[in-house]
């Protein structure tokens, strides 16, 4: 069995690859090191993994026309599980001229990988990393897969929903085994520097105000990265094209979450309230009943514990 992990140098991808290697799996890792944030941070994510002979890195762009390198990454006789985590992330940057990069990296790259998978065959599962951003503004919470109609409120969410639908189409029309998981506000060690907790931790340490877009009463379903990796692994046997939420059970108003962060850091924060940004939804809350019923998965990491792990890793990197 071979594991193909796209976006392997990113936040979640590097954690997943590390877990697979710890289980003795062979990992073909793909990343094109987009400069959405510093590529050096991504290379630091996988520096230890490159020392493992079972980890092979392919610095390639999935959105390109040449896909012959994929045949070199995975032997034709090997059965494959694909974890497709590569994407252009971020709600706020997806507006305007930047949208072209989002369509390229989130839609075209996904279809290219699906086409290759269909033609290659011997795919045990195609596991797609979707996002809670596909739901948009929802007042009837929690968000339930077969009840809450996806209506994205950002161009980013539109591209993630489009790619999710592509995955489903290839399953329905070509029999490609697949499952899609909608992630909810993932945090933990190695979190992208543009994400809220990373920004907040840095600001508190540097005694700068935390920029809060809105009044702080908006809620988020915070999900620890280790719980996400466990959900990904448990979903490998789900191959019927279904879509499942993966949320952490830590749904809190932002101001309460900041209070937990202050406890973890051991320092109070100064807050600077700013207008709500386009595309930012007010609330997210995942029903994870389907994932739990299907795989036995449940979130296991309380927010305070997860934040302490993130802070510890951040301090170690700086030292």
- Each residue of 204-225: pLDDT tens digit? 999 999 999 999 999 999 999 9
Q: Is residue 292 domain-resident?
A: yes
pLDDT band at 319 (very low <50, low <70, confident <90, very high): low
Active site residue 156: yes
Interval 131-151: pLDDT, tens: 999 999 999 999 999 999 999
Structure tokens at 228: 């996400």
**With bands split at pLDDT 50, 70 and 90, how would you rate the model's confidence at 317?**
confident
- In terms of residue numbers, what domain contains 156? 2-184+225-249+285-299
Q: Is the pLDDT of residue 18 over 70?
A: yes
Comparing 151-165, 178-192, 301-315, the range with the smallest average pLDDT is 301-315
CATH number of the domain residue 168 falls in? 3.40.50.720
E strands, 44-201, where?
Answer: 55-58, 80-84, 123-131, 178-183, 186-187
| Any domain includes 279 | no
pLDDT at 270 over 80: yes
Report yes or no: 130 and 235 within 8 Å, Cβ to Cβ. no
- Largest Cα separation within the chain, whole Å, is 58
Split into its structural domains, the chain has a count of 1
Average pLDDT over every residue of 228-235: 98
What stretch of H or E contains 274? strand 271-274
pLDDT for residue 65: 86
**Tokens, residue 138:** 């929802």
Q: Over 80: is that where the pLDDT of 316 sits? A: no
In a domain, residue 267? The reply is no
Q: Does some domain include residue 196?
A: no
Q: How far apart are CA 290 and CA 110, in angstroms?
A: 25
From the candidates 3, 36, 156, 187, which is the catalytic residue? 156
In a domain, 85, yes or no: yes
User: What is the average pLDDT score of the chain?
Assistant: 95
Whether this model's pTM surpasses 0.85: yes
> Can you tell me the mean pLDDT for 162-174?
98
Residue with tokens 């390639």: 60
Residue 163 in domain: yes
Q: Does residue 314 belong to any structural domain of this protein?
A: no
Q: 271 lies in a domain?
A: no
pLDDT digits (tens, 9 = 90+) for 239-268: 999 999 999 977 899 999 999 999 999 999
For residues 237 and 177, give the distance between their C-alpha atoms in angstroms, rounded to a whole number: 9
Burial 28-38 (b: 16+ CB within 10 A, else e): bbbbbebebbe
The Cα angle at residue 77 between residues 74 and 79, in degrees rounded to 5: 70
Question: 78-107 b/e with 16+ CB inside 10 Å = b?
Answer: eebbbbbbbbbbbbebbeeeebebbbbbbb
Q: What's the pLDDT score for residue 119?
A: 93
């Amino acid at each position: 069995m071979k594991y193909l992990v796209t976006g392997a140098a990113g936040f979640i991808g590097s954690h997943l690859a590390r877990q697979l290697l710890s289980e003795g799996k062979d990992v073909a890792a793909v990343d094109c090191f987009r400069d959405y944030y510093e590529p050096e941070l991504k290379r630091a994510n996988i520096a230890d993994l490159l020392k493992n002979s079972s980890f092979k890195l392919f610095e390639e762009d999935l959105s390109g026309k040449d896909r012959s390198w994929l045949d070199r990454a995975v032997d034709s006789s090997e059965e494959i599980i694909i974890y497709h985590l590569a994407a252009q992330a971020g709600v706020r940057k997806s507006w305007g001229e930047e949208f072209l990069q989002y369509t390229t990296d989130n839609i075209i790259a996904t279809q290219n990988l699906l086409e290759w998978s269909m033609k290659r065959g011997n795919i045990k599962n195609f596991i797609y990393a979707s996002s809670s951003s596909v739901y948009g503004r929802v007042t009837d919470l929690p968000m339930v897969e077969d009840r809450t109609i996806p209506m994205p409120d950002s161009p980013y969410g539109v591209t993630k929903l489009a790619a999710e639908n592509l995955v489903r189409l290839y399953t329905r029309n070509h029999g490609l085994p697949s499952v899609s998981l909608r992630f909810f506000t993932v945090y933990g060690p190695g979190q992208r520097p543009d994400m809220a907790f990373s920004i907040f931790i840095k600001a508190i340490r540097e005694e700068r105000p935390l920029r809060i877009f809105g009044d702080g009463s908006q809620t988020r379903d915070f999900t620890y990265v280790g719980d996400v990796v466990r959900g990904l692994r448990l979903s490998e046997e789900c191959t019927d094209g279904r879509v499942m939420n993966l949320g952490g059970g830590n749904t809190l108003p932002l101001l309460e979450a900041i209070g937990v962060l202050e406890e973890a850091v051991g320092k109070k924060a100064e807050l600077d309230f700013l207008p709500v940004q386009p595309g930012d939804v007010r609330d997210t809350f995942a029903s994870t009943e389907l994932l739990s019923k299907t795989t036995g998965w449940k979130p296991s990491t309380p927010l305070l514990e997860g934040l302490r792990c993130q802070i510890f890793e951040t301090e170690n990197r700086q030292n």
